[in-house]
Amino acid sequence: MICGEDEVECSDKDEPDVDGDVSSDCPTIRVPLTSLKSHQGVVIAADWLVGGKQVVTASWDRTANLYDVETAELVHSLTGHDQELTHCCTHPTQRLVVTSSRDTTFRLWDFRDPSIHSVNVFQGHTDTVTSAVFTVGDNVVSGSDDRTVKVWDLKNMRSPIATIRTDSAINRINVCVGQKIIALPHDNRQVRLFDMSGVRLARLPRSSRQGHRRMVCCSAWSEDHPTCNLFTCGFDRQAIGWNINIPALLQEK
């Protein structure tokens, strides 16, 4: 599947049977290694803090929690959002956490100094912030139900350095670390790719035989995979792997 400026040409494959049963040969894990209990509502997201010893979770109870994984103890409860959280993300190399919420804000939590835990509130959207993610370096990318994606510089968060305006609400975005390409999953079944400056690079297929048939809820890059380097998930109960020809995209740009 090679992405072009408009539709992407893909191999024509039979549509998967989304109503089929999972193979009985698939192993099932029934006992968790640990259980993290403190939230009073749905837990909507989780991410590892750098180092792999702590995890942060986001919940509809309007809080994010930081846990010690080995002891399962609650280390910090991050409070302040006025409505349900939608997402949380940790920085790949620093002890930073960003949380998103239906209250139209996202918050940056700083745990780099063990004695001081600071928080900054950013009001860059007019509707639910569906996700905010770090990129390698000093950028945060936020997406919203207000149909915009905004790129921010951590050194100066007063205003975005780029704004992407679309025709549909945006769900859980993901950024290709190596090439800094943003994958935007939409309510209208579209998946679009943009660069960090806001230039559209491609639109993935959306038809009866390829692409999603219902809302696309999230995207995830897998840059080291030789075949599928982008995955998208939808309300059609499908997770689709795509082979994105990134060098061709950047050359067409």
Whether the per-residue pLDDT at 8 is higher than 60: the answer is no
Q: Which domain holds residue 82?
A: 43-252
Domain for residue 52, yes or no?
Answer: yes
Domain for residue 9, yes or no?
Answer: no
Which CATH number fits the domain that encloses residue 110?
Answer: 2.130.10.10
**Residue with more model confidence, 11 or 253:** 253
Domain for residue 75, yes or no?
Answer: yes
Domain for residue 11, yes or no?
Answer: no
pLDDT band at 22 (very low <50, low <70, confident <90, very high): low
pLDDT score at 174: 96
pLDDT score at 118: 85
Q: Which two tokens stand for residue 14?
A: 């039979």
Q: What letters, b where the CB count within 10 A reaches 16 and e where it falls short, cover 9-48?
A: ebeeeeeeeeeeeeeeeeeeeeeeeeebeebeeebbbbbe
Give percent of the chain with pLDDT exceeding 70: 89
223-239 mean pLDDT: 91
Whether the per-residue pLDDT at 7 is higher than 60: the answer is no
Model-level pTM? Answer: 0.85
Whether the per-residue pLDDT at 52 is higher than 60: the answer is yes
pLDDT score at 66: 96
Rg (CA), the chain: 19
CA dihedral 61→65→68→72, nearest 10 degrees, is -10
Please write the tens of the pLDDT for every residue from 80-116: 999 999 999 999 999 999 999 999 999 999 998 877 7
What's the total number of domains in the chain?
Answer: 1
| Per-residue 3-state assignment (H helix, E strand, C coil) for the chain | CECCCCCCECCCCCCCCCCCCCCCCCCCCCCCCCCCCCCCCCEEEEEECCCCCEEEEEECCCCEEEEECCCCEEEEEECCCCCCEEEEEECCCCCEEEEEECCCCEEEEEEEECCEEEEEEECCCCCCEEEEEECCCCEEEEEECCCEEEEEECCECCCCCEEEECCCCECECEEECCCCEEEEEECCCCEEEEECCCCEEEECCCCCCCCCCCCEEEEEECCCCCCCCEEEEECCCCEEEECCCHHHHHHHC
Give the residue from 37, 29, 34 showing the smallest Cα distance to 53. Answer: 34
pLDDT band at 15 (very low <50, low <70, confident <90, very high): very low
> Residues for the chain: how many in total?
253
Domain for residue 38, yes or no?
Answer: no
Whether the per-residue pLDDT at 163 is higher than 60: the answer is yes
Whether the per-residue pLDDT at 207 is higher than 90: the answer is no
Domain for residue 66, yes or no?
Answer: yes
pLDDT score at 10: 38
Domain for residue 10, yes or no?
Answer: no
User: Strand pairing of 181-185 and 129-134?
Assistant: unpaired
Domain for residue 18, yes or no?
Answer: no
pLDDT band at 13 (very low <50, low <70, confident <90, very high): very low
pLDDT score at 72: 95
Other Cβ atoms less than 10 A from the Cβ of 83: the count is 13
Rounded Cα distance between 203 and 211, Å, is 11
